Structures are given as C-alpha cells and as structure tokens.
C-alpha cells in the first residue's frame, strides 16, 4: 500500500473559478485585444464574499456522523461547504459568481475508509439524510446538486468528500493492474503509479482536479482515449458501498457470469453506491512521447481520415481534429490565440510508448494520412497542444471576468450521422444565441464505428448570462435527441441531461434504472435527483 506524500497533493479549487488559484490570472493583453475585436468587453467580476445558508442538519446527526469518521472530518464551516457546492460547469460558476449558494450541503463528511463510507450510508439511510459523493468536484452536468424540489424531503444534505481516501492499495505487475482509492486526483494517482514504473494514461482536461472515483462514476474519457481507451475500459474491478451492503466486482478480466455488473456502477454518478476502490489496468511508463500536427483542407476530410485510422485498427495514442472555427481560434492553445493558425483544420496526433513502438505506429499512421490528403505540420503544433492541454479552463474564467460567456458540450454518434449531428448542434446553438456567437467543434474521441463531437461556445454574456445560456443548451440537447445521438459521451447525465435520457434509453431502460436504484438505495438517499429520471 502506498500513501501519497504531501508534495503531490493538489490544492483546493476556489468556489467561483477553475483550478489552482496560483495559475489563475487576467486575460493576457494580446488575447484581450483580440477578444475585444469579436466581443464587447465588460467588467464582470465574481462576487467577493458569498454567504452560505446556515446548516439545516440537526446537531444530533452531525454528532452521530462525527462518531463514525472523527470530529475533525465533519465540517460545517462556510468555506468548506462553499467549495463543495455544485461542480464546475459554466452555469455552476455563474451561479457562484453572483453569490447564489442555495444548494450548499449542510455538512461535509470526510470518511477515511470503505468501512466508514458504509457506516455513513447506513446512518443516512436510516435517518433520511441525502448523501452526495464528492470526488474532485469537477462535475459539469449538475451531478453534485440536491435540487430545491428534492431537498425538503430530507433531514439534510451531506457532501461525502472522498478526499481522505488517497492510497494506492495494491499493484499486480504480472497482471498489469493496480487498485486505487477513489479520492486520488489524476496527477496524484499517476505519481503513485510512477513509483512502480507504471501509469494509467487517463488525461481528461480536468485531469489536475478530478478523482479516480469520479472518473468511474461518470465514465470519463481522456485526451489519450484513442490509445489507452476510456476510463471505463480501464476498469477491471470495483468495490462499492451501498445503503444495503457492499459489492465487490472483478474476479477476472472477463467472464460470462451473467451481465457484467461493473457496468452498472460505471456511470452510476453516486446514485447507486459509493465507489471506494477501483482496480484499473496499468501500463509501463512510456519511454517517449511525440505529438504532431496535420492540416486538412476541411473538417469532413480530417474526420474521414480519423475514421479510416480507427477502422484500420491504426490509432495513435492521441487523435483529435478541430473544425475550421476552432482551428482559426486555436482554442487548444489558449496562450497562442491569434497565433499562426494554419487555415483548414488542425489535427493532433500523438504517439507514446517505446521508441520502436512509437516509430512503427507513427510511420504507419503517417503513410495513411498522407495518402488521404493530410499535410504534415511537424511537431510544433503537437507540442504546443500538449503544453497547453490543461489550460483552457483557466481561460474560461478570464473570459467570464470580461463578460464573455464560454461553455462546452459534447455528444457522440455513428460515423454515418456525423455531419448531420455537427450541423444540427451548431445551428441550434447559433440560432439560440444569435449573431456574434462563435461555435467551435472538435472530434475528441474516435471508435471504429463513430466519434464524439465536442463543442465550445463563446458569446457575449450580456446582463444575464445564465438566462442566455440555458435555452441554448436546451436547443442543443433537443438537436442531439432529434439526431438520435448520445446526450452525453463523457460528461455524464447529472441533473442537466436527465430530461433527455428517456429519449435515449426508452421507458423500459428507465424502468430498469429505477429498479436498480430502488434495490440498492431503498430510502433514496444517494445523490437524489441525479441520473435516474
């Protein structure tokens, strides 16, 4: 078992912004100048100090929870509850920025072990206290909120912060597996694995702050998914505490022992249980990494090339393609906005592994991409992308500070429906937000049969940015439903996508979800209102 040393611990995120406060800053002057050419610049600072509603949970309950996890890990102070309020979608940030903390939990409880999680769930089930599992707090679809409609039927709301559970519990180098506790954030998990010469290879844009438990609970997908797979594809075992008892899954890499129940908890968003251990497939640390850029005449040509690679089982580790708008704005390189965008569409290819494996894959991919009409741009665009790959969320805050509303959304479909989906979502967003709106898109994850489209929207926030955004998001979701695409490829359902889930999985699918919820959480205390329609 390996503990995390303090040097590797991540800082806490502020309530109103993304990330490490030390990294935050105003828009660089050259970016501000460019932004002002497209959007009206206004002063839209976040509220300085925001009051959190007084905790509503009876003190007897707080004392009982303290008896389980210890006094020091039951916290009711404003600062702790404020940063456990909601997640980090733009609507979440906008609400925090105007001082709306109405959804704050009553108490933050920090269990240190599986048994403590189980005991907290048993107590809360018995006393009808809602429990919201909290990993990194980077949710973007309302997965950390007990809404006003549900709240009155509970004695209170506990934010169950898994942040104390940060150990690497076991490594099996022969089978290439490792068992991690849920509270480890991305860099922390990688640092612990690196001590064994191993890595996970899951790099979502939220990597710095999102947690292992959160990755599993939302079926997250990272920027190296072409090479290493989605997070759910890396999971070989799970331990879950539910209000009715424990589940321990993953006796073998694959089995025919009925339906694979691991899938029931992957993507369960805290509604069916609390994931307390995750066993993942691990790999040797790569000896080398090469990232390159390719230029394509248009989005369709680049996307067709991605399809060809996926269908030839010839995927690099990283593969992404920006559409014309995103290429020209070069959002993948926020430090370089306004830099020399090459025109057309920019594709990033990345190769990681041994020098031999990298050389072989790179040669094979290069041959295919050249034949299909791609122009190699060398390593500079790839290296810039890699250097700035986690920077865009900081830019979002700086843009919100000057009155520019920025938000993202994602979906997935089969290759044959790609163009229709792309057009429909773009038109829905542009139609709802009107002139002066920029809609950017990239193909973020690819499969032999289809891909994920990831949209970024930038538009003047106006007086009421939240009210401006919500109808646009609804229009985009309706377009996705009309196209028969996935309402989410990796951001999860939460509360935001719940109204659209029935259209995707059907009434019988919803009945199945409700039955699972009823069986595992009969009192309905786990993350009420999330996921299950």
Ligand X SMILES: Cc1cc2nc3c(=O)[nH]c(=O)nc-3n(C[C@H](O)[C@H](O)[C@H](O)COP(=O)(O)OP(=O)(O)OC[C@H]3O[C@@H](n4cnc5c(N)ncnc54)[C@H](O)[C@@H]3O)c2cc1C
User: In whole angstroms, what separates CA 137 from the centre of its chain?
Assistant: 10
**Looking at beta carbons only, is 297 or 499 nearer to ligand X?**
499
Strands in 274-281's sheet, in edge-to-edge order, are 168-172, 177-180, 274-281, 235-242, 245-249
Closest distance to ligand X from the beta carbon of 41 (Å) = 23
CB of 131 to ligand X, least distance (A): 9
Name the residue nearer to ligand X (CB basis): 88 or 166: 88
Minimum CB distance to ligand X, residue 340 (Å): 26
Stretch that binds ligand X, among 38-46, 215-223, 320-328, 425-433 (CB under 6 A): 215-223
**Residue whose beta carbon is closest to ligand X:** 214
Q: Examine residue 18 and tell whether it contacts ligand X (CB under 6 A).
A: yes
Q: Which stretch binds ligand X (CB under 6 A): 54-62, 135-143, 189-197, 500-508?
A: 135-143
The Cα 130–Cα 158 span in angstroms is: 6
Q: How far apart are CA 293 and CA 315, in angstroms?
A: 15
Contact between 490 and ligand X by CB under 6 A: the answer reads yes
Residue 205 lies near ligand X (rule: CB under 6 A) = yes
Q: What is the DSSP string of 65-133?
A: HHHHH-GGGEE--HHHHHTTSS-SSHHHHHHHHTT--TT--SEEE---SHHHHHHHHHHHHHHT-EEEE
Task: Indicate which single residue of 27, 210, 400, 477 sits in contact with ligand X (rule: CB under 6 A).
Answer: 210
List, in order, residues 6 or more apart from 33 with CB less than 8 Å away: none
Shortest CB 212 distance to ligand X, Å: 8
143 binds ligand X (CB under 6 A): yes
Shortest Å, Cβ 239 to ligand X: 10
* Neighbour order of strands in the sheet with 438-446: 375-378, 288-296, 345-353, 318-322, 438-446, 450-460, 404-414
- Cα separation, 387 vs 396, in Å, equals 17
According to DSSP H, which parts of 414-521 are helical? 418-433, 465-482, 498-520
Using CA atoms, how far residue 76 sits from 117, 155, 464, in Å, is 18, 15, 31
Q: What SS3 class is residue 402?
A: coil
Smallest separation, CB 197 to ligand X (Å):
25
Neighbours of 444 (CB within 10 A): 25
Provide the pairing of β-strand 157-161 with 283-284. Answer: unpaired
CB of 49 to ligand X, least distance (A): 23
Tokens 């600072």 found at: 45
Q: C-alpha dihedral over 230, 233, 237, 240, to 10 degrees?
A: 50
Is 184 or 341 the residue whose CB approaches ligand X more closely?
Answer: 184
Tell me the window of 50-58, 205-213, 293-301, 338-346 that interacts with ligand X (CB under 6 A): 205-213
Position 206 contacts ligand X (CB under 6 A): yes
Token pair for residue 509?
Answer: 């699918």
Q: Which stretch binds ligand X (CB under 6 A): 32-40, 203-211, 297-305, 497-505?
A: 203-211
Of 213-221, 249-257, 332-340, 362-370, the window that binds ligand X (rule: CB under 6 A) is: 213-221
Site string for ligand X, 115-134 (x = CB under 6 A): -----------------xxx
Nearest approach in angstroms of CB 151 to ligand X is: 16
Q: Does 144 bind ligand X (CB under 6 A)?
A: yes
Nearer residue to ligand X within complex by CB, 219 or 295: 219
Which residues in 19-38 contact ligand X (CB under 6 A)?
none
Segment contacting ligand X by CB under 6 A, of 59-67, 269-277, 420-428, 432-440: 269-277
Per-residue interface string for the shown chain with ligand X, residues 437-476, x marking contact by CB under 6 A: ----------------------------------------
Q: Which residues pair with 337 in a beta bridge?
A: none
Choose between 358 and 425: whose C-beta lies nearer to ligand X: 425
Q: Which of residues 80-109 bind ligand X (CB under 6 A)?
A: 87-88
Q: For residue 6, give both structure tokens.
A: 């303090």
Closer Cβ to ligand X, 352 or 407, answer by number: 407
Binding mask 385-404 for ligand X (x = CB under 6 A): --------x-----------
Q: Which token pair is 121? A: 């769930």
88 contacts 137 by C-beta, under 8 angstroms: yes
Give me the 157-196 binding string for ligand X, x by CB under 6 A, dash otherwise: -----x-------------------x--------------
Looking at the Cβ atoms of 137 and 302, the one nearer to ligand X is 137
User: In sequence order, which residues have a C-beta less than 8 Å from that of residue 117 and are 6 or more positions away?
Assistant: 111, 160, 162, 165, 241, 274, 276
Structure tokens at 450: 């289809």
Return the H-helix or E-strand segment holding 41: none
Residue with Cβ nearer ligand X (90 or 295)? 90
Helix, strand or coil, per DSSP, at residue 322: strand
- We find the least distance from the C-beta atom of residue 356 to ligand X, in angstroms, to be 30
Which among 311, 511, 332 has a CA at the least distance from the CA of 408? 332
Candidate list 85, 220, 242, 349; residue touching ligand X; CB under 6 A: 220
Under rule CB under 6 A, how many of the chain's residues touch ligand X? 38
Left if phi > 0, otherwise alpha if psi is -120 to 50, otherwise beta: which for 203? beta
Question: Residue 532 carries which DSSP code?
Answer: -
Q: Does 492 bind ligand X (CB under 6 A)?
A: yes
Token pair of 393 as six digits: 């969320």
Among the listed residues 55, 111, 112, 137, the single contact to ligand X using CB under 6 A: 137
- Give the footprint of ligand X on this chain (CB under 6 A): 18, 87-88, 132-140, 143-144, 162, 182, 204-206, 210-211, 213-215, 217-218, 220-221, 269-270, 274-275, 393, 490-492, 527, 530
């Amino acid at each position: 078992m390996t503990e995390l040393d303090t040097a590797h611990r991540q800082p806490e995120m502020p309530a109103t912004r993304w990330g490490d406060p030390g990294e935050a800053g105003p828009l660089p002057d050259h970016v501000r100048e460019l932004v002002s050419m497209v959007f009206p610049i206004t002063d839209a600072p976040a509220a300085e100090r925001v009051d959190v509603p007084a905790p509503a949970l009876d003190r007897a309950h707080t004392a009982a929870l303290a008896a389980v996890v210890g006094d020091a890990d039951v916290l009711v102070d404003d600062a702790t509850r404020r940063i456990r309020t909601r997640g980090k979608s733009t609507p979440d940030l906008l609400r925090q920025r105007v001082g709306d903390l109405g959804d704050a939990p009553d108490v933050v409880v920090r269990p240190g072990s599986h048994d403590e999680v189980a005991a907290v769930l048993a107590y809360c089930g018995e006393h009808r206290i809602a429990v919201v599992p909290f990993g990194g707090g980077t949710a973007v679809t309302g997965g950390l909120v007990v809404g006003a409609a549900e709240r009155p039927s509970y004695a209170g709301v506990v934010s169950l912060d898994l942040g104390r559970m940060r150990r690497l519990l076991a490594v099996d180098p022969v089978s290439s597996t490792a068992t991690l506790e849920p509270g480890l954030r991305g860099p922390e998990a990688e640092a612990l694995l690196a001590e064994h010469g191993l890595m996970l290879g899951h790099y979502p844009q939220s990597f710095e702050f999102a947690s292992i438990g959160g990755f599993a609970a939302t079926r997250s997908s990272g920027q190296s998914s072409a090479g290493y797979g989605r997070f759910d594809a890396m999971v070989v075992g799970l331990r879950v505490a539910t209000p009715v008892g424990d589940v321990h899954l993953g006796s073998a890499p694959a089995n025919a022992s009925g339906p694979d129940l691991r899938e029931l908890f992957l993507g369960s968003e805290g509604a069916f249980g609390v994931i307390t251990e995750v066993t993942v497939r691990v790999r040797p640390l790569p000896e080398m990494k090469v990232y390159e850029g390719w230029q394509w005449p248009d989005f369709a040509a680049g996307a067709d090339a991605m399809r060809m690679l996926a269908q030839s089982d010839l995927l690099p580790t990283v593969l992404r393609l920006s559409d014309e708008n995103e290429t020209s704005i070069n959002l993948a390189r926020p430090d370089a906005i306004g830099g020399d965008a090459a025109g057309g569409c920019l594709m990033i290819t990345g190769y990681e592994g041994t020098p031999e494996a990298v050389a072989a894959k790179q040669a094979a991919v290069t041959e295919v991409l050249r034949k299909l009409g791609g122009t190699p741009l060398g390593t500079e665009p790839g290296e810039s992308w890699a250097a700035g790959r986690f920077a865009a969320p900081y830019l979002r805050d700086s843009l919100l500070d000057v009155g520019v509303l920025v938000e993202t959304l994602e979906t997935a479909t089969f290759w044959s429906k790609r163009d229709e989906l792309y057009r429909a979502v773009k038109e829905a967003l542009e139609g709802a937000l009107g002139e002066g709106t920029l809609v950017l898109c990239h193909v973020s994850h690819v499969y032999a049969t289809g891909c994920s489209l990831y949209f970024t929207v930038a538009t003047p926030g106006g007086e009421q940015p939240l009210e401006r955004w919500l109808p646009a998001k609804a229009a985009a979701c309706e377009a996705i439903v009309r196209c028969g695409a996935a309402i989410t490829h990796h951001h999860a359902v939460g509360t935001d996508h719940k109204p659209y889930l029935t259209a995707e999985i059907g009434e019988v699918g919803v009945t199945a979800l409700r039955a699972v919820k009823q069986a595992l959480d009969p009192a309905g205390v786990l993350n009420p209102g999330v996921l299950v329609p």
